[in-house]
């Protein structure tokens, strides 16, 4: 004898466990990042920040980027500036047919709120996350904001891994556990260089399966990082995604060098673009050169794009790299492309 619940669905015999949910198949992004022999490199990109305009504002970015990338990062108050929430943007991206990567930053929230964001987003099918410690509040436009940093990046990765194994940090069960694909970030060009690989190993040991690397304008530093990462065993279970910045010209390069912590742009690189007859073209060719160099490094499974041009450069880059230029999310139209 079974009794109906308020929705009309049978509950089953008293005391019986509900049937286990069918396992979710891995996402296309997870397959590309974790397969022993991936069919092609991955392309991910930042979704530009949104403050207002509804889902239509997100859709405008999706229309430009979605055909050429495998996932878009839903950022979490980047550079310590307040924007529409990471979870809201991630859910909007998912509804538009794009796989989101939910960035989760430790600066603004304690462990309760961080876990809540992760499991709440997972309820909507957002299962790829990137764990960051986050820039200090002094990097933003509200430096009087209170820092939280209840967890750091490595501890947040461990928390996410615990959720993926069916436990909150308190030990309370989480069943069924969300099928999380956990990632993080690392900077291959920030000294001390050897420490960066050791820190990346800690993130991998905590559960990170991919690392989106900070923009690096010194190819020798990226080469050294990837080589040491491979020899240390990091890349056996953790994919590397170097970031390529698509900028309009030398002014943007100088701004990054002068104002963005962790990024150094050699003067000769700035001069190369600045002295070109067409700075936009020279800046694009620099990005293409960096992309090809990055993809040749050991352990690199793809690229992460930071598009500051907001034109057709992402499409051009994907084409010039020989990558697919009409990705389609299973069962979704991504704005009927």
pLDDT on residue 192? 87
Q: What are phi and psi of 97, to 5 degrees?
A: 90, 15
Residue ranges with strand state E in the chain: 42-46, 71-74, 100-105, 128-132, 181-186, 210-213, 239-246, 302-307
Residue ranges with strand state E in 112-223: 128-132, 181-186, 210-213
For the chain, give the mean pLDDT: 91
CA distances from 53 to 11, 48, 56, 90, 300 (A): 43, 13, 6, 16, 37
109 assigned to some structural domain:
yes
Q: Are 244 and 287 in contact (CB under 8 A)?
A: yes
Q: What is the mean pLDDT of residues 224-251?
A: 97
* Residue bearing tokens 């260089």: 193
Q: Are 64 and 313 in contact (CB under 8 A)?
A: no
DSSP-assigned states of every residue in 74-103: E-SSGGG---S-HHHHHHHHHHTT--EEEE
327 assigned to some structural domain:
no
Structural domains counted in the chain: 1
93 assigned to some structural domain:
yes
User: Which residues touch 260 (CB under 8 Å, ≥6 apart)?
Assistant: none
Better pLDDT: 16 or 53? 53
The predicted model scores a pTM of 0.89
Which of 5-9, 17-21, 36-40, 241-245 has the least mean pLDDT? 5-9
Does residue 196 have a pLDDT over 80?
yes
Segment 300-335, tens digit of pLDDT: 999 999 999 999 999 999 999 999 887 654 445 455
pLDDT on residue 17? 47
User: Which residues touch 295 (CB under 8 Å, ≥6 apart)?
Assistant: 41, 302, 303, 321
pLDDT on residue 193? 85
Question: Using alpha carbons only, what angle is made at residue 227 by residues 222 and 231, rounded to the nearest 5 degrees?
Answer: 150
pLDDT on residue 327? 64
10 assigned to some structural domain:
no
59 assigned to some structural domain:
yes
Which of 60-64, 258-262, 293-297 has the least mean pLDDT? 258-262
- Per the DSSP assignment, residues forming a β-bridge with 10 are 4
**Host domain of residue 171:** 39-320
CATH code of the domain in which 175 resides = 3.20.20.220
Work out the pLDDT band at 227, boundaries 50, 70, 90.
very high
101 assigned to some structural domain:
yes
Which of 4-8, 117-121, 145-149 has the least mean pLDDT? 4-8
Q: What is the mean pLDDT of residues 189-205?
A: 93
Segment 45-86, tens digit of pLDDT: 999 999 999 999 999 999 999 999 999 999 999 999 999 999
Q: Which of 232, 108, 234, 208 is nearest to 154 (CA)?
A: 208
pLDDT on residue 45? 98
In eight-state DSSP terms, residue 68 is: G
pLDDT on residue 3? 45
263 assigned to some structural domain:
yes
6 assigned to some structural domain:
no
User: Which residues touch 113 (CB under 8 Å, ≥6 apart)?
Assistant: none
Segment 240-253, tens digit of pLDDT: 999 999 999 999 99
Does residue 15 have a pLDDT over 80?
no
């Amino acid at each position: 004898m079974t009794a109906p619940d308020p929705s009309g669905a049978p509950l089953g015999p008293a005391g019986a466990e509900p049937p286990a949910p069918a396992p979710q198949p891995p996402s296309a992004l997870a397959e590309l990042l974790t397969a022993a022999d991936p069919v092609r490199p991955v392309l991910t990109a930042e979704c530009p920040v949104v403050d207002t305009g509804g889902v239509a504002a997100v859709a405008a970015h999706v229309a430009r980027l979605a055909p050429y990338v495998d996932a878009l990062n839903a950022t979490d108050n980047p550079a310590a500036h307040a924007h529409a929430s990471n979870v809201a943007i991630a859910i909007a991206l998912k509804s538009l047919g794009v796989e989101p990567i939910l960035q989760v930053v430790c600066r603004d929230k304690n462990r309760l709120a961080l876990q809540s964001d992760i499991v709440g987003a997972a309820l909507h099918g957002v299962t790829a996350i990137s764990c960051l410690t986050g820039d200090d509040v002094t990097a933003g436009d509200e430096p009087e904001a209170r820092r939280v940093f209840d967890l750091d990046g490595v501890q947040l990765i461990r928390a996410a891994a615990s959720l993926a194994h069916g436990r909150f940090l308190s030990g309370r069960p989480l069943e069924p556990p969300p099928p999380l694909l956990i990632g993080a970030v690392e900077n291959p060009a920030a000294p001390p260089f050897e420490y960066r690989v050791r820190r990346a190993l800690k993130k991998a040991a905590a559960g990170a399966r991919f690392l989106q690397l900070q923009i690096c304008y010194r190819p020798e530093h990226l080469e050294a990082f990837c080589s040491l990462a491979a020899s240390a065993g990091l890349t056996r279970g953790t994919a590397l995604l170097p970031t390529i910045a698509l900028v309009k010209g030398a002014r943007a390069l100088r701004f990054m060098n002068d104002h963005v912590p962790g990024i150094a742009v050699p003067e000769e690189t700035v001069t190369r673009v600045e002295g070109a007859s067409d700075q936009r073209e020279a800046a694009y060719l620099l990005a293409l050169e960096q992309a090809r160099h990055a993809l040749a490094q050991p352990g690199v499974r793809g690229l992460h794009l930071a598009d500051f041009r907001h034109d057709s450069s992402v499409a051009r880059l994907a084409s010039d790299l020989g990558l697919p230029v009409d990705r389609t999310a299973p069962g979704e139209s991504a704005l009927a492309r």
